[in-house]
Amino acid sequence: MKPSSRRKFLSDSTKIGLGSLLISPTIVSALNNTSFSKKDIYFLPTTGFKQEPLSYAYNALEPYIDALTMDIHYNKHASAYCKNLNDATIAEKVDVTKPVEDLLATISKYSAKMLNNAGGHYNHELFWKLLSPKGETKPTGTLLAAIEKDFSSFDSFKTKFADAAKARFGSGWAWLIINSDKTLVITSTPNQNNTLMDNAEVKGFPLLGLDVWEHAYYLHYQNKRADYIDSFWKILNWDYVQQRFDSIK
């Protein structure tokens, strides 16, 4: 990444409220699972232990996500993950001055409560930033080129991602990640697990994730998960996904 691009990433990230940004190699420990080397990583968005405010109103994503769902999802479900995570960090003596990513990288050392709530907090803090009232229909530039390279076409990528989201049995997440050899990979995880965890079957840095727990969509879509997945593309903040992609050389 050129110096000017790095400065732009920092500026843009501050505007949309990414949280703290750490310069390599500070954050590398959180990605030991993915085998990224120090020279591969410039700036990576990191997550703190507090729930950040939404950058848009609860009704801003309508008609694709309704205001009541957003209100309950953010203020009840995500808020509970954050509270329970902080309770667990006190009980299990976790250093909260370091980013949540560091905790995820060694999550197997901790309790089930820590795993579920650290994952739930991280996943939701990412998810809110992936949504935008001004969602773009598709990415551009280097991200689009990478998607077309690794999935043949953008339409093929969308189909494979949607299939992963639909096929996740019960509650969980669908992910687009970049792995240690810089390949884009689609995967899914159960419950509130994610691909930064040291116990993940498929490891990598999450570029985007879709929450397919029923609480994310059931009030509006009932059992029609496929319709919810289709709507996701209409409110996806591809600019933010591009910034995450650009944070890794």
Q: What is the pLDDT of residues 188-206, one digit of tens each?
A: 999 999 999 999 999 999 9
The answer to whether the Cα torsion of 158, 164, 170, 172 is positive or negative is negative
* Domain extent listing, the chain: 3-45, 67-130, 141-246
Q: What is the pLDDT confidence band of residue 248, given thresholds at 50, 70 and 90? A: confident
The answer to whether the Cα torsion of 153, 158, 161, 164 is positive or negative is negative
The percent of residues in the chain predicted with pLDDT above 70, rounded, is 82
Per-residue tokens: 165:
């989201």
C-alpha span between 212 and 189 (Å, rounded) = 10
Mean pLDDT, rounded, for 68-92: 98
Phi-psi group of 218: left, alpha or beta (phi > 0 → left; psi -120 to 50 → alpha; rest → beta): alpha
* DSSP conformation class of 78: I
Position 160 pLDDT exceeds 80: yes
- Highest averaged pLDDT of the listed ranges 5-14, 135-144, 230-239: 230-239
pLDDT of residue 241: 96
Please give the class, per CATH, of domain 141-246: alpha beta
pLDDT of residue 43: 52
Three-class secondary structure assignment of 10-74 = HHHHHHHCCCCEEECCHHHHHHHHHCCCHHHECEEECCCCCCCCCCCCCCCCCCCCCHHHHHHHH
Q: Confirm if 160 and 177 have CB atoms less than 8 A apart.
A: no
Q: Which residues contact 40 (CB under 8 A, 6 or more apart)?
A: 248, 249
Ordered DSSP codes for 80-100: HHHHHHHHHHHHTT--TTS-H
C-alpha span between 239 and 135 (Å, rounded) = 9
Question: Which of 113, 107, 130 is closest to 232 using CA atoms?
Answer: 130
Region 67-130: CATH code? 1.10.287.990
Question: Which of 10, 38, 13, 36 is closest to 24 using CA atoms?
Answer: 38
Q: What is the pLDDT of residues 220-245, one digit of tens each?
A: 999 999 999 999 999 999 999 999 99
Q: What is the pLDDT confidence band of residue 172, given thresholds at 50, 70 and 90? A: very high
Angle at the Cα of 215 (from 243 to 223), degrees rounded to 5?
110
